[in-house]
Chains A and B, each alone.
Chain A
Amino acid sequence: DVKVTQSSRYLVKRTGEKVFLECVQDMDHENMFWYRQDPGLGLRLIYFSYDVKMKEKGDIPEGYSVSREKKERFSLILESASTNQTSMYLCASSFSASRAGDAFFGQGTRLTVV
């Protein structure tokens, strides 16, 4: 059974803290994505990576960075958490874009910044 696993289901962090959200996939996918999901706004892409050490900004990268040191792991970093980063964060992975393949999602991390 294919899996995308996010390290935490729920996180509560303080304003100004550095926050790491971890995601691991076991499908040997080239592409990995971080989205945030907010009511009425759907899924908005923060960053994606199409290969190890490669990354591209999505639609809302401000306040975030990412790291992909290994193919199976993609980390989202909030350098200095703010209350407007309270949200549901979803990680996904997909096959190479030589054909646009379906994306598999993790279960999500609900982050609250207080």
Chain B
Amino acid sequence: GENVEQHPSTLSVQEGDSAVIKCTYSDSASNYFPWYKQELGKGPQLIIDIRSNVGEKKDQRIAVTLNKTAKHFSLHITETQPEDSAVYFCAASGTSGTYKYIFGTGTRLKVLA
């Protein structure tokens, strides 16, 4: 079945360093890949997304890359700050014609001051 694997499950970085979270998806028909940030006590919030016709997208300190051949996509956060500490989820759109998002299991990022 459709599956999204996310690594690592936890990640600790020093403030100012970069953080990278990687996801692999199984459904070759997936064409939309959002990333969500979930802060403590809140619902997930979309932070960046990428569509299958694009290889990379940047928004200030965050960027996402997509390798459709390998079915990999990654979130890159540069110059990390303590407020970046949260759980991050990747997702992939389900099989074309459905409305489902398949989520990864999440990465808990801790930025150490």
Q: Are B99 and A31 in contact (CB under 8 A)?
A: yes
* Residues of chain A having any CB pair with chain B under 8 Å: 4, 31, 33, 35, 40-45, 48, 50, 56, 58, 90, 92, 94, 97, 99-108
Q: Nearest-CB distance from B99 to chain A (Å)?
A: 4
- The complex places the Cα of A56 from the Cα of B100 at a distance, in Å, of 10
* Residues of chain B having any CB pair with chain A under 8 Å: 6, 9, 31-32, 34, 36, 41-46, 49, 89, 93, 97-101, 103-106
Taking CB as reference atom, which chain A residue is nearest B43? A105
Question: Known contacts A42-B89, A90-B43, A108-B43; is A102 also within 8 Å of B49 by CB?
Answer: yes
> Closest 7 CB pairs between A and B?
A105-B43, A100-B32, A42-B105, A100-B93, A43-B103, A97-B99, A102-B46
Among B9, B34, B42, contact of A103 (Cβ-Cβ < 8 Å): B34
